[in-house]
Structure 1
Amino acid sequence: MKIQKEIIDFEEGKSFKLFSPSLKNCFFWHYHPEIELVYVEACNGIRHVGKNISDFKDSDLLLIGSNVPHLNFDYRIQTECRQLVLQMRENFLQELIFPVPEFDSIKKLLERSYLGLSFSGETKAKVVEKLHDIRDKNSFDSFMGLVEILQILAHSNEVKELNNEDTRIKWFLNDKIRMGTIYDYIHENYDKNPNVNVIAENVNLSTPAFCRYFKKQTNMTFTDFVNNYRINQAKLLLLQNSCVTEVCFQVGFESLSYFNKLFKKYIGETPSAFKKKHLSKVEG
């Protein structure tokens, strides 16, 4: 469960690699010096980049800076999930971007990628189309396509910074290693009654110290995080056409009215409305 340094191999003569990983049942909390662009497509999932832990719906496009710890984006996703990952060589910024004045906007983009950048809207649609396109190009054309992608991202206003501070590995090595244990405990117990005292003991902290640690790492209380996790699991079950009442108890809630209230708070609509809307799209 400890944080790992990923060693990335590149083809000779290539400045980047583009591939589709699948690590669904593996908790791969890792970092690497290479800057990474990730597109993930799923009903919903959890993004964990630096200190940010949040969920996404339908798809997400992220630019992750050098040595920023992140979790694989398909972790524990039980429905269909597709990914495209583009990784740039460690010297990409220094040797290919820095010396060229015309790449100044791209340079600024890559320099702030250590915050973790999530792109949406037209930007995401254009970039995903180009990512698919460059997969079938020769080396030179695919490289020029990458430059185009970075230029689109550099000039986009449809971007959200996931972190507001430096979360590169030097900050994390002595701190975030407990998160793997916490994640697995929540996943194994969210449908029962996760006990903050038990997980605190598992990571060798007192309960008050654990609560402070968890709030600092996630910007959520342990209870809020568990409820958010339950709601995300509920969404997956509802998309499988499960009954709302059954789903409520399956994900660990003891009160249907509280489940409905919390679901609407997190998702903006009731479980019934969510199910009806999304299943009608599938049937249509």
Structure 2
Amino acid sequence: KSLKIETYEGEDICHKINWHLHPEYEIVFIKNGKGKILINTYHSSYEDGLLIFLGPNIPHMPFGNSDFKDNAEVVIQFKKEFIEERMSLFPEFQSLNSFMKSIDKGIIFSNEIHRKLTKSFLDFKSQNSLEKLLNFIQILHQLSISTNHINLNGKIKKLQIKSQALDRISLVYEYVNNHYHTPIKSETIANQLGLTPNSFSRLFKLSTNRGFIDFLNEFRIHKAMELLENDHLQIAEIMYKCGYNDPSYFTKQFKRYSSISPSKYRAQLLEKKSKL
């Protein structure tokens, strides 16, 4: 299909692999709850739902949360040809041309436009194919005329990923997603990709604007942050679950990506919970 629309409800959040990227544009609507926004080197958070539009080939983590039973997440994916074909057939679509060109990396929309379009996104679940298409076009129009948003173009470095490299980087993300809790060596991944260690390091740096070890540490630390929300797990146990076996190195990396120690991070989580 040229337009893919998926709706997830309640605890059935979008279970994509963690870090991933794809050649399609992606619009993600999350009805409520709070969560993290991790897009390549850009890190932020949202407090009461999210509406975000990402350009092609932008590495990102899933955005969903399971804070509320009535939550809903809608994920829309389409390739640029989908819009270009309609521009060539219908002059009315030309008004979307400049907007689509502005989605080089991504846009986070305001709570105001999020609230305004909530019903439109939730309607997808009960619509037939034609109704979905018309609804999508209307949503795209509303997004194009919105002026209250955060443009990520200046906050995320552009990745120049060729199709062959895209497949390889996707395999790297998949490998880390599945093996982050075990020792991971660059040589092992390079061998799986049919590359020398130096060639793999260059490929990853050129494709993602960061070194592989930096990416791996950041991935593991964000996993540790998730696990620290579980009061029943000891910090040492979390360290091992995230692939570390040296407490001082684990703490050093944790401070690098969160500015505080694991114990202080957990204390802050507990303090927030006590105020709820």
Q: TM-score, normalization: structure 1?
A: 0.69
Alpha-carbon shift at residue 275 of structure 1 (Å): 2.0
Aligned to 2:16: 24
Aligned to 2:207: 217
Question: Which residue is 1:134 aligned to?
Answer: 120
Classify 1:116/1:253 alpha carbon distance in 2 versus 1 (closer, same or farther; 3 Å): same
Bigger Cα displacement from structure 2, 258-267 vs 80-89: 80-89
Quote the residue 1:265 is aligned against.
Answer: 256
- How big is the shift at 1:198? 0.9
* CA RMSD between the two structures: 3.8
2: CA distance between counterparts of 1:31 and 1:231? 27
1:20-99 correspondence to structure 2 within 5 Å? 20=8, 22-24=14-16, 30-32=22-24, 35-39=25-29, 43-44=35-36, 46-47=38-39, 52=40, 57-58=45-46, 61-65=51-55, 68-69=56-57, 73-74=61-62, 83-86=73-76, 90=83, 91=85, 95=90, 98-99=93-94
Measured after TM superposition, the shift of residue 28 of structure 1 is 7.3
Residue aligning to 2:152: 160
CA apart distance, 1:233: 0.6
243, 257, 261: which one pairs with 2:234?
243
Match for 2:101 among 78, 94, 111?
A: 111
1:134-191 deviations in Å (ceiling 9; x for gaps): 2467978986565333212xx2462211655475xxx632321112321222223322
- TM-score norm. by structure 2 comes to 0.71
2:182 to 192, 196, 199: 192
Asked whether the equivalents of residues 26 and 54 of structure 2 are also in contact (C-alpha less than 8 Å), the reply is yes
Could you tell me whether the CA contact under 8 Å between 2:53 and 2:107 is conserved in 1? yes
Residue 24 of structure 1, CA deviation: 3.1
Q: Residue 255 and residue 97 in structure 1: after superposition, are their counterparts in 2 closer, same or farther (change >3 A)?
A: farther
Which SS does the other structure have where 1:200 is aligned? Answer: helix
Q: 1:9 to 1:38 in 2, by over 3 A?
A: closer
1:227 alignment partner in structure 2: 217
Contact 1:19 1:85 in 2 (8 A): yes
Contact 1:93–1:110, Cα closer than 8 Å, also in 2: no
After TM superposition, the structure 1 = structure 2 runs for residues 143-182 of structure 1, keeping only pairs within 5 Å, are 146-152=140-146, 155-156=147-148, 158-161=150-153, 164-165=157-158, 167=160, 172-182=162-172
Which of 78-87 and 179-188 deviates more? Answer: 78-87
Give the secondary structure class of the aligned counterpart of 1:83.
strand
- Secondary structure in 1 matching 2:152: strand
How many residues are paired up?
249
Separation (CA, whole Å) in 1 of partners of 2:264 and 2:18 = 33
Which whole-Å CA distance do the structure 1 matches of 2:18 and 2:214 have between them?
Answer: 24
One-letter identity of the residue aligned with 2:265: F
Distance 1:223 1:27 in 2: 15
> Secondary structure in 2 aligned to 1:261?
helix
SS of residue matched to 1:84: strand
- CA gap of 1:257–1:178, structure 2 versus 1, over 3 A, is same
Q: Distance in 1 between matches of 2:120 and 2:167?
A: 36
